Amino acid sequence: MYVDDLKSDFYEFLTGKRIFLMIHYDIDSICTCKILQSLLKYKHILYTLAVVRSAEDLKRAYRENCNDVKYFILINCGGTIDIVEEVEAEEDVTFFILDSHRPIDLCNIYSNGQVRLLSSPEEDALVPDFHDVFREESDEEEEHEDDDGENENRAAKRRRLDEEEIIKRREKRLWEEKRNKLLFEYSQFTYYGKSSAVYMFDLAWKVNRDDKELLWLAIVGLTEQMCLGKIENTQYSLQIGHLQTHATKLRNRTCDADVVTSLKVNFEKDVKLNLYRHWSIKSSMKFSAYTAVKMKLWSLRGRQKTARASRRHGSSQAFRTMDLQLRKEFHETLERLSEKYGLQDITYATFTLQYGYRNKYCAMDIVLALLAILEASPKEKKPEELFNSALDCLSRTKKEVIDNAVERAKIITKTLFKTVQSALDMKQIISAGPFIYYIVQEGCVDWYMFSHPHILSLLAQFVLRAYVAMSRNRKASSLPLILSAPKNVEAGSCILLGIPPLCENSPKNFFGKAFEQAAERINCDASCDFFDTSYFEIHIKDRTRFFDALTALLS
Partner 1 sequence: MFGEKGYALVKELSRYEDSLPPYNTDLVNEVSNEIKLLIDQNKEDAQMTTDEGSGAPSMVSTIRIRHAAVKRNLRCLMAYHYNRIRCLRTMRWEFGSILPVDIRANLSSAESEPWQLICGQSVTGGVNLAVDLKPPKALYIEVRCLADYGNLELNDGSVILLKKDSRHYLPRNECEELIRQGVLRHIV
Q: What is the binding site for partner 1 (CB under 8 A)?
A: 18, 37, 40-41, 44-50, 64-65, 67-68, 382, 384-385, 388
Residue number, 61 or 459, with CB nearest to partner 1: 61
Residue number, 44 or 474, with CB nearest to partner 1: 44
| Residues 115/139, Cβ–Cβ less than 8 Å | no
In whole angstroms, the minimum distance from the beta carbon of 42 to partner 1 comes to 11
In whole angstroms, the minimum distance from the beta carbon of 47 to partner 1 comes to 5
d(CA 50, CA 22): 5
Residue number, 338 or 388, with CB nearest to partner 1: 388
| Residues 102/109, Cβ–Cβ less than 8 Å | no
In whole angstroms, the minimum distance from the beta carbon of 383 to partner 1 comes to 9
Residue number, 18 or 168, with CB nearest to partner 1: 18
In whole angstroms, the minimum distance from the beta carbon of 25 to partner 1 comes to 13
Residue number, 18 or 53, with CB nearest to partner 1: 18
d(CA 253, CA 263): 13
Residue number, 37 or 431, with CB nearest to partner 1: 37
Residue number, 34 or 410, with CB nearest to partner 1: 34
Quote the DSSP letter at residue 115. E
Residue number, 62 or 319, with CB nearest to partner 1: 62
In whole angstroms, the minimum distance from the beta carbon of 205 to partner 1 comes to 22
N-to-C CA span, the chain: 39
What is the identity of the amino acid at 503? C
Residue number, 21 or 514, with CB nearest to partner 1: 21
| Residues 203/32, Cβ–Cβ less than 8 Å | no
In whole angstroms, the minimum distance from the beta carbon of 265 to partner 1 comes to 23
d(CA 435, CA 467): 12
Picking from 103, 360, 76, 57, the residue whose alpha carbon sits closest to that of residue 225 is 76
Greatest distance between any 2 Cα atoms in the chain: 103
In whole angstroms, the minimum distance from the beta carbon of 75 to partner 1 comes to 14
In whole angstroms, the minimum distance from the beta carbon of 227 to partner 1 comes to 26
Identify the bridge partners of residue 22 per DSSP, sorted by sequence position: 50, 74
| Residues 214/201, Cβ–Cβ less than 8 Å | yes
In whole angstroms, the minimum distance from the beta carbon of 45 to partner 1 comes to 7
d(CA 525, CA 539): 8
In whole angstroms, the minimum distance from the beta carbon of 77 to partner 1 comes to 16
Residue number, 398 or 418, with CB nearest to partner 1: 398
d(CA 555, CA 553): 6
Residue 68 Cα distances to 96, 177, 239, 244, angstroms? 17, 43, 38, 42
Query: CA-based Rg of the chain, rounded to a whole angstrom?
Result: 26
d(CA 343, CA 329): 17
**Buried residues in 362-392 as b, exposed as e (16+ CB within 10 A):** bbbbbbbbbbbbbbbbeeeeeeeebbebbbe
Structural element, H or E, at residue 271: strand 264-271
